[in-house]
Each structure stands twice: as C-alpha cells, then as structure tokens.
Structure 1
Amino acid sequence: MKLPSTAHTRQPWRIHEFTRDFRLEDVWSFRTPGAGPEDFPEMLAAMLQGGFAPRNLPTRFLFAVRWRLGRLLGWDRDGEGLSTRVRPLRERLPAELAGTAVELPAGSPFTSMYELPDEAAREIANGTVHAVMHLGWAQGANGEYELRMAVLVKPNGPFGRFYMAFIAPFRHLVVYPALTRAWERAWRERDAGLSPRR
C-alpha cells in the first residue's frame, strides 16, 4: 500500500543522515500479521527465501525490457555505476555502520549499505539514477508492525528525471503490487515449509 512521505521521514532511521541530497520518490508498506518489534531480521530472511524479487510475467517482462534497454543504451556500463560515476553512500557511513553491510544474493543489482535490527539500506547507480532502497520496520496505524520500503533517488540530469517520471506508472501499477504479493506471502509462508508462489 502506498503511504505518504511522512511515513518514512518521521521515523528515527539512520538513513536520513546520509540521503539529504536525495529525493524521496516512493513509500510503500507491506503487511506482516502478528509481527513484533524484533521481527525485522525474520522478515528479511523470509524475503530472501522467497526470492526477494517477484517472478510474475508482467514484472519479468518489464525488467527484461529495462535490462535490454540498459545494454543497448549503455545505462549499465561499468563507468556508470558505483565508485565510477558516483561515490557510494557506503563510503559516507561511520565504520560501525558500514561494518553491518551484508552480502546480497548473486545477481542482485544492489549493494548493501548497512543492516540494523530495524532498518536496512541497499544502493544502486547507473546511467539514469543513483538510488537507495530503504527497508524499515515500523508500527502501523493499527498497532501492528509492518515492513516499509522507501525509494530515494538522485536522478542523473534531465534525462534521469524524465526516466523516473516515465517509469512511475509501471512502478505503481505493476512492480510494487507484485512486490506486495510476493513479500507478504513470504511472511505468511515463512514457517509453513511452503515454496512461495511467485
């Protein structure tokens, strides 16, 4: 479910210290019935076990188109990424925070910045944007704990701003609803010994 920006900005998360020059693009929530304040690591583990990214046909098609365009137009060349076009945010972190970064699954386009008991951040950079996916654990309006995802971006010039505006409908109508189904199902099935459907 889409949330207002304040659902992210009013939380006392560490990410705010390092992304003041980024724009908050989206805030989305994922229901985790029965979760408590200490269950964020369990949610992250469930997401990884479920494959993290949804595998339904529309989402696979959109990502296939995106990666194909990236190859054709050079958006994903080595010179457009972290440590080349942009300085990784992880380099801004104090040592005790940078030391909590985890190894992400092979093939992930993201790099881990840090992982704490109630939040985690991953970053990515290419020819269009430098972006952060922030995952946080917060108490919702109904008193239950839920996962919140925020997307923070620094577009690469006018084209980057156009790109983010162009893909907004696809994010909101296809990608985020698919993520919602996949991640909420991963939470429900984490202890059931089921193979999460995608």
Structure 2
Amino acid sequence: MRVPNTEFTERPWRIHEFVKDFEVEDVWDLSTPGGPDDLARLVDQFDSDGKDFNPSPMYKLLFAVRWKLGALLKWDTEENGVGSSRHPSLRDRLPEDLLEGRRGPDMRVVPMKSVYQTSDEWVTELANRTVHTAMHIGWVDDGNGRHHAQMAVLVRKKDWLGKVYMPLILPFRRIFVTPNLVKTVGTGWQARQAK
C-alpha cells in the first residue's frame, strides 16, 4: 500500500545523510510482518534467483518495452551505469561506519547494486541515461515487538531526459509496476514465513 512520503522523510534513516540531491518518488508499506531482527531475512529474499518472482503480464510487458527502448537508445550502457565517471556510486558518499559495515547483496532480478545494509536499512541503486535511483528498504517498528518493511524510491533525474521520462512513466509505475512488486514481495514473505 502506498503511504505518504513523510512516512520515509520523517524517520531517522541513515540514508538521509547523503541523498539530499535525490527526490522521494513514493513510499510503500510492504506486507512483511516480522520481529525486530527480520530485515536480513527479507534482504535474503531479494537475493534469490527470481524463480519465486512471478510478476503480472503487464509488469513483464512494461519491463520488456523499457529494456528494448534502453538498448535501442543506449540508456543502459556501462558508461551510464553505477560507478561510472558520469554516475559515481552512492557508496562514494557513505560515512566510514557504513562503508566498513555490511554491504548486502546486489539484486539479480533487477540490476540494482547494493549500497549498504544495517539492522534496519538496506539501500540499492541503479543508474542509467535518464536517472540515478535508490531503493531504500527500512524495517519499521510497529510497537509491541512487531515490525514490517517500508520501501522508498528516490530519484535524481539526469538533465532534460530524466525530467521528461520520469513524469511519463509515473502512472505506469504507480498503477502496474510498483503495486505488483509490493504484492510479490509480500506473497514471497508469507510463503517463507509458512515454511
């Protein structure tokens, strides 16, 4: 379920220290009820080979179109990726304690690179010709020892192309892509909890 951006911006996450030039696109609660130390289990779910990731046909179609368009227009080349001279990694901005701490896994289903992982935060990033984006998964305390994950999508738009591209895809992302991802994460979490 989508929640107000303040659910992310008003929490004392460490990511706020080094993404001041990024905008919060949206924030979603994930159906991942758990205990105080369960973020690592959720991160492990993202580290899977994707066999249990079963997105909708519309999700698959939209991503197929996006990857084809990116290949045709050379948006996803190495020179436009994370760690290139054009797009330094967020890891270059980390304070020493986060840099020396656990990094977390790179995602395999979507080509996002891990930035850092703590007991209550995990951050991944992706860069291309249009944007540099970060996905923040925070482990939110619901009280009484219960927690759940919250996903925030942050974006730094690249010149005019990113400023045109992001508003164009926003309806597709909010209607088809992110809700399907949120549902799939929740379903995968419930299945793992039942084991």
After TM superposition, is the score higher than 0.5?
A: yes
Q: Relative to structure 1, is the Cα distance of residues 54 and 10 closer, same or farther in structure 2, using a 3 angstrom cutoff?
A: farther
Give SS of 2:24's match: strand
Could you report, residue by residue, the CA deviation over 1:33-75 in whole angstroms, capped at 9, with x for unpaired residues?
3x12221112222343482854321111111100000000111
Could you tell me which residue of structure 1 aligns to residue 17 of structure 2? 17
Could you tell me which residue of structure 1 aligns to residue 168 of structure 2? 166
Could you report, residue by residue, the CA deviation over 1:150-170 in whole angstroms, capped at 9, with x for unpaired residues?
111110112201111011111
Could you tell me which residue of structure 1 aligns to residue 90 of structure 2? 89
Worse-matched range after superposition: 35-44 or 95-104? 95-104
Give SS of 2:29's match: strand
Q: Relative to structure 1, is the Cα distance of residues 96 and 141 closer, same or farther in structure 2, using a 3 angstrom cutoff?
A: closer
Distance 1:25 1:85 in 2: 22
Distance 1:126 1:47 in 2: 21
Shift, 1:192, TM fit: 3.4
Select which of 148, 151, 156 maps to 2:150.
148
Could you tell me which residue of structure 2 aligns to residue 45 of structure 1? 44
Tell me, yes or no, if the aligned pair for 1:30 and 1:148 is still in contact at 8 Å: yes
Shift, 1:84, TM fit: 2.6
Which blocks of at least 5 consecutive residues in structure 2 are unaligned? none
Could you tell me which residue of structure 2 aligns to residue 63 of structure 1? 63
Tell me, yes or no, if the aligned pair for 1:133 and 1:152 is still in contact at 8 Å: yes
Q: Relative to structure 1, is the Cα distance of residues 180 and 97 closer, same or farther in structure 2, using a 3 angstrom cutoff?
A: same
Tell me, yes or no, if the aligned pair for 1:32 and 1:187 is still in contact at 8 Å: yes
Q: What RMSD in Å do the two structures reach over aligned CA positions?
A: 2.2
Q: TM-score, normalised by structure 1?
A: 0.88
Which blocks of at least 5 consecutive residues in structure 1 are unaligned? 194-198
Q: TM-score, normalised by structure 2?
A: 0.89
**1:128 is the counterpart of 2:130:** yes
Distance 2:57 2:153 in 1: 23
Tell me, yes or no, if the aligned pair for 2:48 and 2:108 is still in contact at 8 Å: no
Distance 1:22 1:142 in 2: 33
**1:115 is the counterpart of 2:117:** yes
Tell me, yes or no, if the aligned pair for 1:86 and 1:125 is still in contact at 8 Å: yes
Worse-matched range after superposition: 66-75 or 105-114? 105-114
Tell me, yes or no, if the aligned pair for 1:3 and 1:28 is still in contact at 8 Å: yes
Could you tell me which residue of structure 2 aligns to residue 30 of structure 1? 30
Q: Which amino acid aligns with 1:136?
A: G
Aligned length: 192
Q: Which amino acid aligns with 2:40?
A: P
Could you report, residue by residue, the CA deviation over 1:106-151 in whole angstroms, capped at 9, with x for unpaired residues?
4641111001110010111110001111110113499842111111
Q: Relative to structure 1, is the Cα distance of residues 10 and 37 closer, same or farther in structure 2, using a 3 angstrom cutoff?
A: same
Shift, 1:96, TM fit: 2.8
Tell me, yes or no, if the aligned pair for 1:13 and 1:119 is still in contact at 8 Å: yes
Worse-matched range after superposition: 42-51 or 161-170? 42-51
Distance 1:141 1:161 in 2: 39
